[in-house]
Structure 1
Amino acid sequence: MYRMIRTAPEKGEELRKKAIQGGFLDTSRKIRKVRTEEGNFLEIPVTESAYDSADSFLVLEQENPEFLEKPNSLKDSLKGFLSETELASVPSGWQVLGDIIIVFIPEILEDKKTRIAESLLSMYPKCRTVVRDFGIEGQFRQPKRELLLGSETETIHKEHGCFFKQDVTKVMYSKGNLEERKRMSQLGEGEVIVDMFAGIGYFSIPMAVHSRPKKIVGIEINPESFAYLKENIRLNKVEDIFIPICGDCSKFAPEGTADRVLMGYVGTTHHYLEPAIKALKKSGGILHYHETVPESLARTRPQERIEKAACALGKKVEILETHRIKKYSPGVLHVVVDARIFE
């Protein structure tokens, strides 16, 4: 059964926006004009959730619905609404987290951002919100984002059998780190793990779910990320092995306990190498150290920083492998170095 709300033509745009904001517009069908004995009307296609709206809409059954053809691309869906110059600036990629679409829209398309958001929702009928991305800022690497369509910015994203609850306007979730999250999920069985920069559980939740370590201590300084970390521990049913700690990892990292330490943060990560190495057992262990580094220094600077910190503590280092995670910015790579620390 297909449902619609019938309204006067002059109220059509207002109702369409309300349906988008309320998350009950059916983007798979056309809005169409009809003529009845009572006059001319617009039929706005809606989902069953229209019944839950606070507004007193009269929801009717629609006969012979007309379906929209799914566009091959975002540019295809915007042809006829944007000029050729504007079409050339339309983003070719975006991120879908749960039921939220995150997209970077260049300034040249500022006055077309709502139309772009509507087109994206039509391409992803299961999504309900579109936010515009402006990058990250501050010590906590918080996203700077603008809500374009929808009302909810909290979602649950499922990836590799794990659940990540988050507010996309408050915490980051990088699609470029997908393979590293998957790799971490294959390590640590039976081990004691310390996650120095746990965030919402990006790397340690997959490890807890799939590898089943003996224990994970996850430390996170950002209160908002920490709240989601605790929620994700519960959602993924790993409370029995995962201990969350809110605070500065240089002060709260336990010493001499870990078989493996995760350092999944970039920017100032090298400042925390000594407390990370101290967290490892006296007999040694594995360090996963992340850094953003100029491409020409990717094979030297991170390794040298690890060796310098280990030497200061009277430890030795064996560099096991360096993984390229993604291009961070022009000429700069995000890498992770796996290193064995021992006496």
Structure 2
Amino acid sequence: MKAVRASTAEAEPVRQKLLLEGALDKSRKLVEKDGFVEIPVTDSFKNDEFILIEQANPEFYIPGKTLSEILDMPDSEKLFLPSGWQILGDIIIVSLRRELEVHKKEIGNALLSIYPGCKTTLLDRGISGKMRQPDREIIAGSRTETIHKENGCLFKIDAMRLMFSRGNLTEKKRMSKLGKGETVVDMFAGIGYFSIPMAVHSKPGKIIAIELNPVAFGYLKENIQLNKVGEIIEPIRGDCALVTPCGVADRVLMGYLDAHEYLGHGISALLPGGILHYHEAVPEAVESRPVGRVIEAAGRLGKRAEIIDVRRIKKYSPGVWHVVVDARVG
């Protein structure tokens, strides 16, 4: 069985490259020997760039097992095992009930045995703060930086320090088809969740991507280079209340879920007839609230907002929906 032989220092970059190329054999484990790492690859893999060997003693992952079958714990506790988790690149992110945290290390390693392409398991305890920073702990593995592929785009991210929502993939795909030839302002751009797919697929004339968080901004710049869209996206670090340009955009994205205080800045960035995409987390009891906020903010600036569409994206929390309002402002 074939494997690529790499030094310990080079093993992770090589593994990442093989993973992205679809050449990694996910049924076998990486094996360390004498300062080198054997990285298993598919039998059809051929590449003169790497040292290819035949593995003498391949090590296999546990095939076809469930989390409950792998773990040695009382059945009464197995009832509380999670039914799902997020896989971001080669990192597993799982939430556990407090009763199970005593077994967190075993659960983390069990998940890695189920997903041989993954290297680390993180325990997620939620998010906090204006920058929506995750509270996470490594429970198996060690490395938290990964490259995640979505909708034909590559996103480099540190999953320990930043959020990546996969629940709004439909909305991100929809947005990636809009904006051809336009000037777009992406407020609260993060690592490029909306800017990167839009630049890759619809080719706007220019995207101004604004992000305050220094960690996210660093990855935004890396992802611009990784996806080769530097001629389209201009990253700007700063507070959207201070650095959002006025009267330049055909389209403005406001993807942060608590951004109603910034609506005036988003609307001011639009050219007459431009389109606003405004996101908000809305309790079901006041689901019309974001529409009212957009109309009122436009009115305060002497403008009129024509509502084009209102969409539920996903359940944000019990009784609360992630909603997007599309409005033309003139």
TM class, shorter-length: 0.7 to 0.9
Distance (Å, rounded) in 2 between the aligned partners of 1:154 and 1:334: 27
Query: Which among 163, 168, 174 is matched to residue 177 of structure 1?
Result: 168
The superposition leaves residues 274-322 of structure 1 with CA deviations (integer Å, 9 ceiling, x where unpaired) of 01000001x2210000000111222x10000001100000111111111
Q: What pairs with 1:187-206 in structure 2 (closer than 5 Å)?
A: 187-206=178-197
Query: Which among 223, 237, 260 is matched to residue 232 of structure 1?
Result: 223
Distance (Å, rounded) in 2 between the aligned partners of 1:205 and 1:130: 26
SS at the partner of 1:208? helix
Check 1:287–1:2 CA distance in 2 against 1; reply closer, same or farther (3 A cut): closer
The reply to whether residue 221 of structure 1 matches residue 212 of structure 2 is: yes
Query: Which among 264, 283, 286 is matched to residue 274 of structure 1?
Result: 264
Residue 61 (structure 1) aligns with: 56
Query: Per-residue deviation at 1:178?
Result: 1.2
The superposition leaves residues 136-186 of structure 1 with CA deviations (integer Å, 9 ceiling, x where unpaired) of 111110111001111110000000100100000111001112111111111
Check 1:68–1:145 CA distance in 2 against 1; reply closer, same or farther (3 A cut): closer
The amino acid of 1:255's aligned partner reads C
Which one has a bigger Cα radius of gyration?
1
The amino acid of 2:260's aligned partner reads H
User: Are the counterparts in 2 of residues 233 and 242 from structure 1 also a CA contact under 8 Å?
Assistant: yes
The reply to whether residue 330 of structure 1 matches residue 318 of structure 2 is: yes
Query: Per-residue deviation at 1:69?
Result: 3.6
Residue 70 (structure 1) aligns with: 64
User: Are the counterparts in 1 of residues 136 and 160 from structure 2 also a CA contact under 8 Å?
Assistant: yes
User: Are the counterparts in 2 of residues 2 and 61 from structure 1 also a CA contact under 8 Å?
Assistant: no
User: Are the counterparts in 2 of residues 101 and 129 from structure 1 also a CA contact under 8 Å?
Assistant: yes
User: Are the counterparts in 1 of residues 61 and 113 from structure 2 also a CA contact under 8 Å?
Assistant: no
Residue 301 (structure 1) aligns with: 289
Query: Per-residue deviation at 1:255?
Result: 0.6
The reply to whether residue 288 of structure 1 matches residue 277 of structure 2 is: yes
Q: How many pairs are equivalent?
A: 293
Query: Per-residue deviation at 1:52?
Result: 4.1
Residue 115 (structure 2) aligns with: 124
User: Are the counterparts in 2 of residues 191 and 214 from structure 1 also a CA contact under 8 Å?
Assistant: yes
The reply to whether residue 339 of structure 1 matches residue 324 of structure 2 is: no
Distance (Å, rounded) in 2 between the aligned partners of 1:187 and 1:77: 46
Residue 137 (structure 2) aligns with: 146
The amino acid of 2:285's aligned partner reads S
Distance (Å, rounded) in 2 between the aligned partners of 1:143 and 1:66: 33
Query: Per-residue deviation at 1:49?
Result: 4.8
User: Are the counterparts in 1 of residues 151 and 173 from structure 2 also a CA contact under 8 Å?
Assistant: yes
Distance (Å, rounded) in 1 between the aligned partners of 2:182 and 2:112: 43
Structure 2: which 5+ residue stretches go unaligned? 4-14, 16-24, 38-54
Distance (Å, rounded) in 2 between the aligned partners of 1:225 and 1:27: 30
> Percent same amino acid at aligned positions?
55
Distance (Å, rounded) in 1 between the aligned partners of 2:320 and 2:181: 35
Distance (Å, rounded) in 2 between the aligned partners of 1:199 and 1:134: 21
Distance (Å, rounded) in 2 between the aligned partners of 1:143 and 1:52: 35
Distance (Å, rounded) in 2 between the aligned partners of 1:202 and 1:280: 21
Residue 251 (structure 1) aligns with: 242
SS at the partner of 1:228? helix
User: Are the counterparts in 1 of residues 63 and 114 from structure 2 also a CA contact under 8 Å?
Assistant: no
User: Are the counterparts in 1 of residues 62 and 113 from structure 2 also a CA contact under 8 Å?
Assistant: no
